[in-house]
């Protein structure tokens, strides 16, 4: 039979109560707390005790043990530090939170429950034994002692003496506890790598005692005064015990396996022959045996093992308590002033009941009410008050919050945009993270972001409307302003290229493509003199005109044909032709991009190319490309005419008024963007985005010196030359004999410039320049799609052909040396026309994105003879409802990604006698006969 009793408090068996009553006031209460790993949470195994087999451990449960014939009552406190209880709490937390486990919150709750049970043990026990399953002292236990001291001084001392005054626990007085409990440490396991000799075990115990003493002393867990000490340590007695010789919680399965292995591999006890030979070499019998009586040292070790037990270790401290010298040596300065009470079992039970209810049971009842303010605060805020980590992290986050906000506000300008705001927020976040840590850091960052956001929006936020070049407006958002300003300045040249000026970053298409050039023309002494081609623009007939609306889903089909209205002559041709379907459309070879309208759509699609002259060129069967030469049926091909362009001349036509009713333009809706190949021809823009000007006679350009600074400013050195282009034509008259026509073309007495007449052949020289300009005002010409002109040496015989017969990129890196890689844009096309009986025709087409932009004229402009013409391209391109932004940088593999100018923009036609040279945009001609160069 077992020599001890065990029961779950408060169900005390009657026979045990009778035996405890006989002890009177000599009961020493020992509390057992700490960690356990077994299924029944048993920490009494070192004392030879265990709970019943049907025992189920639970948090806050107290299992009592009493050994017959002793004066010691054991209280085994089952807490959250027992692994079986801890695992059950984890499972319940996961089930309650639907698999979302908050470790911080769980750890706080676990530790606060353990502190509650420890407080109960410190107030109801004389001796507290802390059991540790590992072989080393856990420094985290110091934190638990600090929390216990804090809870006792800040909570229990405020309400416990008053609430115990009229209770069965009044005998413990104002101290609210039996004594300053003595704390002992029991380690169930000894380090496996250490030998378990008497000297080694004692040395290890003494070293651990010194470490614990220093830690507790340093953190003021015990002091020289018993009133201010949480616990007491004996000064001259051992308070650390290592179980080095007994296996407290054996694994019986592993022991059975070890026994089986030993049995199976048991060595043969017979001595080998080699061993006998070695023994014969000994000088005398017993040569290798130790001195002294056999077994004397083993007997000492066995005696030490029998005496070195946890029970004997505890009995020395129990005897101190029974003899009244419990506090002797615990406190150096005031050794005898500490309270120490030995109560009878009924008196102690009354104290235990009262303290259990106050410290543990009432905290589990959420409906409990009390009139004591301090006690109510203890019940409601106990867990929060113990969560020092939360306070610590909150304090750090508060410091980080102040530092982050200070960093943000000190660096914030008077007005700034979202990019600066995000940059300042990144700097403030870095400053916050230098101090702020822990679970509340995320909430602290959110609070800092809200404060900084409010600071920014409190009169410091910029308008941030994006310009057409994707630069935000820097003016205050709350201050009304009619004109946006991004603070970015571009250097651009005027229409004629003579004057450069500073332009603000444009925010609308009119500012970009019209207003600036009109403004700088007022200060340019050449722009006011030049001849300007008048592009067709919108002329309203009502006051409430508006921009045309477009369907964003309108398809852009490229099938190679385009439908146009048929004239009377074409209708007759259609009736005479057997295949009427082929006559319903006109081939669009003269266009740089072939188009067709949407099937079933009633929108009028303009060719936006060479206009009415398309029909004329087809009627006369003229060649449309320099690479495909066509002749009439009466002509024969020869080797002399293979590299010639044949231009058929007609009789001068009588002046007639232009046909009316062929095209109708809207007077109530205008085109919001630029004209492109799929624009509705009936819509015109409010202002011209292109400019075509004759800046003077052809003599102002010298191919030896190039473009001079006084005439065209801002050109880079060596990149200010135009490229010569030799074009060979053969003139064929429709009605006259060639020799008669040649006689009429001859101008005697004057030398012809930049053209030669050799029989019926005409060789003309045109100078062409593709000018690029960057935002810093640097200008340069290109001699190839991928090459910047580097002086006269780059100009070869076929150089211009690379420019006019290739796709020219709309954007190209500027060769100016700068930290930033500025992109130059194709802004001007320079043309010096020959003094020959022909006109140069320009019809540029710029492909940007899905659009192909054109001049928007019915008849392409004709350039007057022997003149210097400059075609200025738009600064910003915009489709129907879509702004096309320039690229930030060009990819080397795809330089045309930002857009490009299509080849074949130049044409040649016979001189138009009806052309008004004083105002070339107001010609009454329908286009004449021409072909594309």
Alpha-carbon distance values, 608 to 674, 682, 691 (Å): 12, 11, 17
pLDDT at 758: 58
Backbone phi, psi, residue 464, to 5°: 65, 20
Alpha-carbon distance values, 834 to 202, 248, 675, 869 (Å): 116, 114, 30, 11
Check whether 740 has a pLDDT greater than 50.
no
Please state whether beta strands 723-733 and 645-649 pair in parallel, antiparallel, or not at all (unpaired). parallel
Task: Report whether 147 contacts 386 (CB < 8 A).
Answer: yes
Check whether 405 has a pLDDT greater than 80.
yes
Tokens standing for 275?
């061993």
**CA–CA gap between residue 832 and residue 816 (Å, rounded):** 27
For the stretch 378-400, pLDDT in tens is 999 898 888 888 888 999 999 99
Tell me whether residue 576 is exposed, middle or buried, using C-beta atoms within 10 angstroms of its C-beta: 0 to 12, 13 to 18, 19 or more.
exposed
Alpha-carbon distance values, 743 to 238, 425, 760, 826, 913 (Å): 137, 82, 10, 43, 18
pLDDT at 931: 78
Check whether 655 has a pLDDT greater than 50.
no
- The more confident residue out of 768 and 745 is 768
Tokens standing for 555?
């398809």
Over the range 512-525, which residues count as b (16 or more CB within 10 Å of their CB) and which as e?
Answer: bbbebbeebbeebe
Closest CA to 535 of 905, 916, 862, 855: 855
The strand pairing partners of 816, in sequence order, are: none
What's the pLDDT band for 601 if we cut at 50, 70, 90?
A: very low
pLDDT at 564: 36
What's the pLDDT band for 582 if we cut at 50, 70, 90?
A: very low
Task: Report whether 860 contacts 610 (CB < 8 A).
Answer: yes
- Of all residues in the chain, what percent carry a pLDDT higher than 70? 78
- The more confident residue out of 358 and 746 is 358
pLDDT at 516: 94
The strand pairing partners of 48, in sequence order, are: none
Q: Is 434 helix (H, G, I), strand (E, B) or coil?
A: helix
Tokens standing for 327?
């506090």
- The more confident residue out of 336 and 693 is 693
- The more confident residue out of 457 and 572 is 457
CA 298 to chain centre: 72
For the stretch 420-432, pLDDT in tens is 999 999 999 999 9
680 secondary structure, DSSP code = B
**CA–CA gap between residue 609 and residue 618 (Å, rounded):** 15
pLDDT at 175: 84
Residues 307-311 have a mean pLDDT of 90
Residues 561-583 have a mean pLDDT of 38
Over the range 377-397, which residues count as b (16 or more CB within 10 Å of their CB) and which as e?
Answer: ebbeebbebbbeebeebbebb
**CA–CA gap between residue 810 and residue 900 (Å, rounded):** 5
What's the pLDDT band for 841 if we cut at 50, 70, 90?
A: very high
Q: Output Rg (C-alpha) for the chain, integer angstroms.
A: 53
CA angle 596, 600, 602 (to 5 degrees): 80
Closest CA to 824 of 853, 789, 859: 789
Task: Report whether 803 contacts 768 (CB < 8 A).
Answer: yes
Residues 876-894 have a mean pLDDT of 86
- Of all residues in the chain, what percent carry a pLDDT higher than 90? 44
Check whether 769 has a pLDDT greater than 90.
yes
Q: Which residues contact 819 (CB under 8 A, 6 or more apart)?
A: none
Closest CA to 124 of 67, 81, 62: 62
Residue by residue, DSSP assigns 312-375 as HHHHHHHHHHHTT-SSTTT-SSSTT-S-B----HHHHHHHHHHHHIIIIIHHH-TT---S-HHH
What's the pLDDT band for 610 if we cut at 50, 70, 90?
A: very low
Check whether 790 has a pLDDT greater than 50.
yes
The pTM (predicted TM-score) of the whole model is: 0.59
Among 405-419, 755-769, 801-815, 852-866, which stretch is predicted with the lowest mean pLDDT? 755-769
Average pLDDT value over all residues in the chain: 80
Closest CA to 872 of 701, 673, 692, 721: 692
Q: Which residues contact 55 (CB under 8 A, 6 or more apart)?
A: 8, 40, 63
**CA–CA gap between residue 701 and residue 724 (Å, rounded):** 12
- The more confident residue out of 219 and 740 is 219
pLDDT at 82: 93
**CA–CA gap between residue 336 and residue 329 (Å, rounded):** 9
Tokens standing for 579?
């295949």
pLDDT at 249: 77
Task: Report whether 358 contacts 163 (CB < 8 A).
Answer: yes
Among 39-53, 100-114, 651-665, which stretch is predicted with the lowest mean pLDDT? 651-665
pLDDT at 650: 62
Task: Report whether 348 contacts 29 (CB < 8 A).
Answer: yes
Alpha-carbon distance values, 714 to 268, 514, 776, 875 (Å): 108, 21, 10, 17
Look-up: residue for tokens 């039970």? 349
**CA–CA gap between residue 121 and residue 349 (Å, rounded):** 13
Among 119-133, 739-753, 755-769, which stretch is predicted with the lowest mean pLDDT? 739-753
pLDDT at 235: 80
Look-up: residue for tokens 């407290």? 248
Tokens standing for 691?
């400019």
């Amino acid at each position: 039979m077992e020599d001890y009793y065990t029961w779950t408090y408060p169900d005390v068996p009657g026979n045990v109560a009778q035996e405890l009553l006989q002890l009177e006031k000599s009961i020493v209460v020992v509390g057992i707390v700490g960690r356990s790993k077994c299924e029944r949470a048993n920490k009494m195994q070192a004392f030879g005790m265990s709970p019943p087999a049907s025992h189920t451990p639970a948090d806050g449960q107290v299992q009592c043990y009493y050994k017959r014939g002793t004066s010691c009552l054991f209280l085994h406190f089952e807490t959250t530090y027992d692994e079986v209880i801890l695992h059950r709490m984890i499972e319940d937390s996961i089930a309650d939170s639907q698999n979302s486990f908050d470790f911080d919150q769980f750890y706080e709750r676990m530790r606060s429950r353990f502190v509650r049970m420890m407080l109960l043990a410190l107030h109801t026990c004389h001796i507290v034994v802390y059991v540790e399953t590992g072989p080393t002292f856990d420094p985290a236990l110091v934190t638990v002692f600090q929390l216990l001291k804090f809870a006792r001084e800040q909570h229990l001392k405020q309400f416990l003496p008053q609430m115990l005054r009229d209770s069965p626990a009044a005998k413990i007085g104002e101290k609210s506890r039996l004594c300053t409990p003595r704390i002992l440490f029991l380690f169930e396991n000894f380090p496996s790598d250490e030998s378990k000799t008497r000297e080694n075990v004692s040395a290890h115990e003494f070293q651990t005692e010194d470490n614990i003493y220093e830690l507790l002393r340093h953190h003021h867990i015990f002091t020289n005064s018993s009133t201010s000490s949480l616990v007491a340590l004996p000064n001259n007695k051992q308070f650390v015990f290592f179980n080095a010789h007994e296996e407290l919680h054996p694994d019986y399965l592993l022991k059975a396996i070890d026994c089986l292995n030993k049995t199976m591999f048991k060595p043969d006890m017979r001595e080998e022959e080699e061993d006998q030979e070695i023994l014969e070499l000994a000088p005398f019998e017993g040569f290798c045996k130790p001195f002294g009586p056999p077994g004397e040292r083993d007997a000492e070790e066995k005696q030490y093992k029998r005496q070195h037990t946890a029970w004997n270790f505890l009995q020395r401290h129990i005897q101190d308590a029974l003899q009244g010298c419990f506090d002797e040596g615990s406190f150096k300065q005031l050794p005898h002033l500490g309270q120490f009470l030995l109560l009878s079992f009924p008196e102690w039970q009354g104290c235990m009941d009262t303290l259990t209810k106050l410290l543990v049971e009432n905290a589990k009842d959420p409906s409990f009410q009390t009139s004591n303010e301090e006690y109510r605060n203890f019940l409601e805020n106990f867990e929060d008050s113990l969560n020092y980590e939360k306070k610590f992290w909150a304090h750090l986050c508060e410091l980080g919050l102040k530092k982050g906000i200070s960093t943000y506000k000190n660096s914030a300008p008077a007005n700034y945009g979202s990019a600066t705001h995000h940059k300042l927020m990144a700097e403030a976040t870095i400053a916050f993270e230098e101090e702020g840590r822990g679970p509340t850091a995320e909430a602290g960052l959110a609070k800092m972001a809200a404060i900084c956001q409010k600071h920014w929006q409190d009169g410091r936020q910029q308008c941030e409307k994006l310009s057409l070049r994707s630069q935000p407006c820097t003016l205050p958002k709350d201050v009304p302003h009619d004109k946006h300003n991004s603070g970015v300045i571009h250097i651009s040249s005027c229409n004629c290229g003579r004057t450069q000026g500073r332009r603000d970053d444009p925010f609308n298409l009119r500012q970009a493509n019209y207003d600036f050039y009109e403004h700088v023309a007022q200060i340019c002494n050449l722009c006011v003199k030049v001849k300007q081609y008048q592009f067709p623009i919108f002329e309203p007939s009502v006051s409430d005109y508006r921009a045309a609306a477009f369907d964003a889903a309108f398809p852009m089909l490229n099938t190679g044909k385009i439908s146009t209205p048929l004239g009377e002559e074409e209708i007759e041709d259609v009736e005479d032709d057997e295949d009427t379907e082929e006559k319903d459309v006109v081939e669009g070879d003269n266009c740089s991009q072939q188009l067709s309208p949407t099937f079933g759509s009633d929108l009028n699609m303009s060719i936006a190319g060479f206009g009415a002259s398309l029909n004329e060129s087809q009627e006369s069967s003229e060649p449309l490309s320099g690479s495909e030469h066509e002749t009439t049926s009466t002509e024969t091909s020869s080797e002399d005419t293979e590299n010639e362009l044949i231009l058929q001349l007609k009789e001068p036509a009588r002046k007639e008024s232009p046909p009316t009713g062929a095209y109708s333009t809207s007077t109530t809706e205008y085109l919001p963007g630029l004209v492109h190949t799929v624009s509705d021809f009936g819509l015109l823009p409010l202002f011209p985005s292109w400019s075509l000007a004759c800046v003077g006679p052809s003599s102002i350009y010298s191919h030896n010196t190039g473009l001079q600074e006084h005439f065209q400013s801002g050109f880079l050195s060596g990149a200010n030359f135009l490229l010569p282009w030799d074009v060979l034509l053969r003139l064929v008259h429709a009605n006259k004999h060639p020799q008669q026509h040649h006689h009429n073309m001859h101008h005697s007495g004057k030398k012809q410039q930049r053209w030669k007449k050799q029989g019926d052949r005409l060789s003309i020289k045109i100078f062409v320049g593709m000018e690029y300009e960057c935002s810093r005002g640097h200008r340069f010409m290109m001699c190839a799609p991928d090459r910047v002109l580097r002086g006269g040496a780059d100009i070869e015989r076929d150089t211009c052909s690379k420019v006019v017969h290739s796709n020219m990129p709309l954007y190209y890196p500027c060769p100016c040396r700068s930290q930033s890689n500025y992109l130059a844009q194709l802004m001007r096309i320079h043309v010096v026309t020959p003094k020959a009986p022909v006109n140069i025709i320009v019809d540029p087409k710029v492909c940007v994105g899905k659009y192909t932009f054109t001049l928007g004229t019915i008849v392409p402009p004709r350039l007057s003879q022997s003149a210097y013409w400059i075609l200025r391209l738009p600064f910003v391109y915009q489709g129907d409802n879509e702004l096309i932004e320039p690229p930030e940088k060009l990819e080397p593999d795809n330089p045309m990604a930002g857009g490009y100018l299509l080849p074949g923009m130049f044409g040649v036609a016979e001189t138009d006698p009806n052309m008004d040279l004083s105002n070339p945009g107001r010609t009454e001609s329908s286009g004449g006969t021409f072909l594309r160069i």
